[in-house]
Each structure stands twice: as C-alpha cells, then as structure tokens.
Amino acid sequence: MGGECICVMGRYILRRLLWTLVVILIVTLVTFVIFYVLPSGDPAVRFAGKEPTQQVVAQVRRDLGLNHNVAVQYLLYLKRLVVGDKYGWPGLGFSYTTGGAIAPQLWQRAQITLQLVLGAAVIWMLIGIPVGVYAALKPRSAFDRSSLLVGLVFISTPVFWLGMLLLWLFWATLGWLPGTGYVTFTTDPVAWAGHMLMPWLTLSLAFAAIYARIIRGKMLDTLGEDYIRTARAKGLPERRVVTHHALRASLVPIVTLLAVDIATLIGGTVVVEDVFNLQGLGSWVLYGAQNQDLPITLAVTLVATIAVSLLSLMADVIYAYLDPRVRPR
C-alpha cells in the first residue's frame, strides 16, 4: 500500500468517524425528545416510576435538572452521559422500581445479549453459507427451489411463534432440551449450551435464509467472472475453484452485512429474550416499558444505538480495507 493510499484511507476513516459522532449526538437528541419532551405530563413523575412519593419526584426533578428550560435540560443530559453521575458511568441514572443504579446492571445484561447474538450469528453463517453455495452451484435445481421456498417460510415466521413452537416440541413434548432460563458458561458449559441452543436457533433461522439468498446471488455473479474461467482453464479442481476463488470473493460484502446485522440484533433480541426468559438487555427494556420504568428503557435504547453506530463504523472501515473500490474518491 503506497503512501497516498494510506492517506486516502485515513481521510475516509476520519470522515466516517466524524459522521458517527454526529449520529451519536443526534441519537442523544432523539432519545431526549422521545423520553423528556414528547410525552404529555410532568417528566419528573414519569421518571419516578409507578405511584411515586412526593420526595422521590422532587429528587428526580433535582437529579435530572428538570427545573431548567428544555435546552439546558438537554445539555445536562449530555453532561451526565459523558462524565457520569452519582450512580456511575455513563450517567444513566437510577431505576425507581427496582431501586438500583442502571449502569452496572446494563453491562451485566449486555453479556447475555452478546452471547445470544454472537452464537446465533455463528449458526446462521453455518447454515446460510453451505446452502447458498450449493444452491448457486445448481441453479434452478430442486434443491435451489426448495431452499428458496423454505427460506421464505423462515423469513415469514414470527420469531416469538417459532420460539414457542420449539419450546413446545423440544421441551414440553419431547423433553430433549431444557426449557427457559439461563445458566452461566462457567458453572456448567453443557447446561449453558443446552439453554442457549433454542434461542440461538430461533434467532438465526430467518437470517440463515436471508444469508443463503445473498450468498447464492453473489456466488452466481462471481462464478461468471473471467478469473473463475481462468482458474478452471488452468486445471484447478472444481472444489478449489469454488472454495478458494468464488466463495472468498463472495464473502467480502458479507462482512459488512454481518457486522451491521449483529449490531442491529443487539437491540432486536427483545422478543427472543422474552420467550426464553433470558435476562439480557432485551428483556430489560421490555421490563422497563411494561413497568413504566423510563430510566431503564432510555438507557438500553441509548447504549444499544451507540453500539450499533460504532459497529457499523467498524464494518465500513473493514470493508474499505478489504475492497478498495468502495473507498470514496
């Protein structure tokens, strides 16, 4: 890589970084508007949870600076996020229904959600890539057609319904797998995997279908390229042509997609965590919403969105590194 190239790359990363900062700033503004400004009624009462006492409301008003005008309130909100508050960093406040600080519990629950999402990603890649490749090698074959149809069924299946069906079949009826709940990996790796298997499957089937379709399309494009013909012409075995040349080229765009999907899923596990009773971020945000505990809902929304923007920044940089064509000017 020449000096000029590194400079272009650096400028691209810098611009992308600035845009990410702008997005994060906008996200703080949007969350502030959604939770502080939009709803009718006194925000202090809303943040104090169900049936608050006068003292709690007064304390919330003091904590959040709700006596000031809206612009100052927003700046105070930003300041708490950046420097933290008396409940820890980042300054996400205190849950008045559970009586605990938000920040420490947030990190603890994020671990469970991450395990769920990453495990699911591994499974959908393990299903999606072989199915997509095989379908592309035999386009319009019976396998290709049925994989498309089955994929469409998976894409159309509501995640919560799939989860309930799996639980009914493998837990309640057959008794092959443990039911809802969570066991940490360190206590019992086998029980951990057993408990995570159904949530992973539930989350990954629709994605497996989508990825199989995308990989099939990319493979079909790549298999028509000149260098594939060259590879075949020089007598490489077909297996090597497919794995070393066609598949490798087809996987480059998948990297970005994967990072973005993983990021989006961090905020999309709500339904699965609800069905399988996993105490991650998703079930927490739901708890917050159902019990009118706004600090929880706000914290998870904000942190997950920031994680999404950071991960998609990372994905874009990796992609630009892998594929020089996308580097703008």
Partner 1 sequence: MSVDVSILESAQPPALGTGRSPAALMWLRFRVNRAAYVSLIFLVVLTVAAIAAPLIAHLAGHGPNDLYRTSMLDSFGNPKGPTLHFWFGADASGRDVFVRVIYGARVSLIVGVVATGIAATIGVVFGLIAGFRGGGLDTLLSRTSDVVLALPVLLFAIGLSSACSNTAQGCVGGAVTPGLNLVIVIIVIFAWPAMFRIVRAATLSLRESTFVEAGRAVGMTGRSIMFREVLPNLISPVVVYAALMIPESILFEAYLSFLGLGVPGTTPSWGGMLEQASQYYTTAWWLMVFPGVFLLATILAFNLVADGVRDAFDPKATK
Quick one: 98 or 292, whose CB is closer to partner 1? 292
Query: Interface with partner 1 by CB under 8 A: which range of 92-100, 194-202, 246-254, 258-266?
Result: 258-266
The residues, any chain, with a CB within 8 Å of residue 157's CB and separated by 6 or more, are 205, 206
Quick one: 27 or 255, whose CB is closer to partner 1? 27
Q: What minimum distance in Å lies between the beta carbon of 268 and partner 1?
A: 5
Q: Which of 297, 315, 316, 320 touches partner 1 (CB under 8 A)?
A: 297
Q: Which of 167, 198, 223, 278 touches partner 1 (CB under 8 A)?
A: 167
C-alpha 256/C-alpha 10 separation (Å) is 19
Give the 3-state DSSP-derived string for 135-186, with helices as H, strands as E and coil as C: HHHCCCCHHHHHHHHHHHHHHHCCHHHHHHHHHHHHHHHCCCCCCCCCCCCC
**220-230 as b/e: b if 16+ CB within 10 A:** bebbeeeebee
Let me know the angle formed at the C-alpha of 239 by 234 and 243, rounded to the nearest 5 degrees: 100
**By CB under 8 A, is residue 176 in contact with partner 1?**
no
How far is the first Cα of the chain from the last one, in angstroms, to the nearest whole number? Answer: 16
Strands 94-95 and 100-101: antiparallel
Residues that contact partner 1, how many (by CB under 8 A) = 54
User: Residues 201-220: x/- map of binding to partner 1 (CB under 8 A)?
Assistant: --------------------
C-alpha 254/C-alpha 213 separation (Å) is 12
**By CB under 8 A, is residue 80 in contact with partner 1?**
no
Q: Which of 44, 304, 315, 320 touches partner 1 (CB under 8 A)?
A: 304
The residues, any chain, with a CB within 8 Å of residue 12's CB and separated by 6 or more, are 317, 320, 327, 328
**By CB under 8 A, is residue 309 in contact with partner 1?**
yes
**By CB under 8 A, is residue 60 in contact with partner 1?**
no
C-alpha 218/C-alpha 27 separation (Å) is 34
Q: What minimum distance in Å lies between the beta carbon of 23 and partner 1?
A: 6
**By CB under 8 A, is residue 35 in contact with partner 1?**
yes
Give the CA diameter of the chain. 82
C-alpha 100/C-alpha 94 separation (Å) is 6
**By CB under 8 A, is residue 31 in contact with partner 1?**
yes
**By CB under 8 A, is residue 38 in contact with partner 1?**
yes
Binding site for partner 1 (CB under 8 A): 23, 26-27, 30-31, 34-35, 38-41, 46, 140, 148-149, 152-153, 155-161, 164-165, 167-168, 172, 263-264, 266-268, 270-271, 274-275, 285-286, 288-290, 292, 294, 297-298, 300-301, 304-305, 308-309, 312
